[in-house]
Structures are given as structure tokens and as C-alpha cells.
A and B are shown apart, each in its own frame.
Chain A
Amino acid sequence: MNPFERLGLEPKFSIDLVQVERVHRELSRALHPDRHVRGLPSERVRALDEAVSVNEAWRTLRDPIRRAEAILELRGSGAPSPHATPSPGFLMAMMERREDLEAAKHQGITALQAIEGAVARDLTETLEELAQALDSASAEHAPARRLLAEVRFHQRLLDEVTSLISD
């Protein structure tokens, strides 16, 4: 069962995470081992297996990158390979961002925060484009795969900047 089905959802990128979390909580409660102590061993095992897969589904769906991968996998187009290379223009911009970050490391917290803000904006924008690409009626997978690769770059960079700031 795919993670969307597991939580009773249509396979779409734009989902209401608050509502999905509620579904996850209700299912987890119903499947909790404490509620099945009087059940047959086979029922207890089944409830535990389901509880595990409900948790796994929730972990997949709440992470935008894994959610996008799950949709692409469902559509049989596969996730981008780890070496898939985005457009030269994007890589150039990424290189410049990285060079700015190198410089900001010596300039202090304000410079780092400015970069964090810019990368967070890029990430949000790219996620919006990815949502459109995945949820549109188009059967074309290439744009979504390219955007997913870009989201990964932004996310990795954002994680790095955030950890630099917290150090």
C-alpha cells in the first residue's frame, strides 16, 4: 500500500498537513498495542505491522522531498537519480550562492542570516513550482524531476546555513 492510500489520501503534492497529521494520530491510536492486548496473537502482530506502516507513511508525506518522490514513483517515472544534473543556469546560481556563503562565513551572523533568508525564499518558490508541476493534469514528468532536484539543492544549502548560524 502506498503512503497516500495508507492515510486515505489522493496522491497529490498539495496536502493539508494539519489534517493528515490528525488522521495519522487517530489511526495510530486505534492501532496502538494497548488496545489489542486481548486480541489474538495474529491480530496483535497485524495491528503492530499496520501501526509501523502508518508511521512510515506519515514520515514520508510530511517531508516534501519524500512526498514528491512517492508521487513520481507511483506514476512509474522514478525519482531523479543521485547524479541527475539540473540546468547549467541553476548550477551557476548555486555556485554563486555557495561563494556568497563562503564570504559570509567571515562576515558574521547578519550576512549568514541574509543568505538563509534568500535560500529559504528560493526553496519556497521552487516547492510552489513543484506543487504545480506535480498536481497539474500534465503527464510530463521531466519538469517535476528537474524541480525536485533543485529543491534538494536548496534544502541542503539551507540546512548548512542554518547549522552555521546555530553554531
Chain B
Amino acid sequence: MAYSEKVLEHAENPRNVGTLDKDDPNVGTGLVGAPACGDVMRLQIRVGEGGLIEDARFKTFGCGSAIASSSLATEWLKGKSLAEASTIKNTSIVEELNLPPVKIHCSVLAEDAIKAAIADYRAKQSVKAARESA
């Protein structure tokens, strides 16, 4: 499989690899996997006071395209609002990384991970809000 230069660049120098505290109420964690290739991806966001994503981290076990897709996703997420973040589409990742058709599912996984992280953050916030109003 010939990877594009951008995929190789991200796979060799992945940005924002790491872990945020999943118990922090301001952190949203998205955990997704693709049974067909055995890939697992964890993507986390920390949302600051102003509602902007101030940090994003990932850990991906999978092929170079899966690593590159999540690495790129974390770069794009930083500084965005949740509304902006939820508009990130897998097709933009495909375009940016020149992913071949057989690797499109890697970008889908990254989009799913972003959505899961946002959903997790929102769920935590609504629990927090319910507790505060109780």
C-alpha cells in the first residue's frame, strides 16, 4: 500500500498523541473501533470556559491512515466550538490526506470518534447541570 506523503508525515510524526483525564467533566472521550481491520481509536477533547475546544488528544491502534486521520482530526479540533467541530466530515479528511478508496473507512472512524467525543462531553455537561439545579 503506497501511502500519500501527508499520511506518512502524520503517521511518522503524529500530533497530539496522549490521554486527557476521562473523569474530568470538561473532557469528552470518544472510543470507536472497526471490526474488519481491528483498529481502535480513542479521541478526547477538553472544552474551555468559552465553549471552545482547548485541547484534543488521541491514541489509535491501526494502520498509518487511521493514525493520520485521527492525528489530523485533533489538529482541526483545537480552537473550534462544538458546533464547528461537529461539522467536520470524513470527506474533508479524505481530501486533505489523499486517502485511497480502500482507506476511506479510516476517515469515517475519525469522524465517528469526533462525534462520540462531543456526545460524551454533552452527556457529562447535562449530568452536571442536572446535579447543580437539583
Residue of B31, B34, B59 touching A83 (CB-CB under 8 A): B34
Chain B, range 15-62, C-beta contacts under 8 Å to A? 31-38, 40, 42, 59, 61
Chain A residues whose CB sits within 8 angstroms of the CB of B112 once the complex forms: 83, 85
B residues neighboring A (CB under 8 Å): 31-38, 40, 42, 59, 61, 105, 108-109, 112
User: Which residue of the partner chain, among A82, A84, A91, contacts B31 with CB atoms under 8 Å?
Assistant: A91
**Structural contact, B34 and A95, CB atoms closer than 8 A:** no
Would A153 and B35 count as touching, CB distance under 8 A? yes
Given contacts A83-B108, A83-B112, contact A95 B31 (CB under 8 A): yes
Contact B59 A95 (CB under 8 A): yes
Whether A86 and B35, one on each chain, are in contact in the complex, defined by CB atoms closer than 8 angstroms, is yes
- In this assembly, does A98 line the interface, its C-beta being within 8 Å of a C-beta of chain B? yes
Q: Which residues of A contact B (CB under 8 A)?
A: 80, 82-86, 88, 91-92, 94-95, 98-99, 148-150, 152-153, 155-157, 160
Question: A80 CA to B35 CA in the complex, in Å?
Answer: 9
DSSP class of A's interface residues: helix, strand, loop or mixed? helix
With both beta carbons as reference points, the residue of chain B lying nearest to A88 in the complex is identified as B31
Take A95-B40, A156-B38 as given contacts and tell me if A85 and B59 are in contact as well, using a CB distance cutoff of 8 Å. Answer: no
Give Cα distance in the complex from A138 to B105, angstroms: 32
Q: Which one of B31, B36, B109 contacts A152 once the chains associate, using CB atoms below 8 Å? A: B36
- With a cutoff of 8 Å between Cβ atoms, the chain A residues found around residue B61 in the complex are 95, 98
Bound CA–CA A85/B109 (angstroms)? 10
Q: Once the chains are docked, how many angstroms separate the CA of A160 from the CA of B31? A: 21
Task: Give the chain B neighbours of A85 by CB distance below 8 A.
Answer: 32-33, 112
Least Cβ distance of B85 to chain A in Å?
20
How close is B107's CB to chain A, nearest CB, in angstroms? 11
Give chain B nearest CB distance to A87 CB in angstroms: 10
- Report B105 CB to chain A, min CB distance, Å: 6
Give the chain B neighbours of A148 by CB distance below 8 A. Answer: 35
Taken together as a complex, chains A and B put the C-alpha atoms of A162 and B16 apart, in Å, by 30
Cα–Cα, bound, A156→B63 (Å): 12
Complex contacts, B42 vs chain A, CB 8 Å: 95
Establish whether residues B33 and A157, one from each chain, have CB atoms under 8 Å apart when the complex forms. Answer: no
Q: How far is the CA of A149 from the CA of B108 in the complex (A)?
A: 17
Asked if A157 meets B32 with Cβ closer than 8 Å, knowing A83-B109, A98-B61, the reply is no
In this complex, which of B35, B40, B109 has the most chain A Cβ atoms within 10 angstroms of its Cβ? B35
Q: Which of A82, A84, A155 has most B Cβ within 10 Å? A: A82
Are A153 and B33 closer than 8 Å at their CB atoms?
A: yes
Specify the chain A residue showing the minimal Cβ separation from B38.
Answer: A156
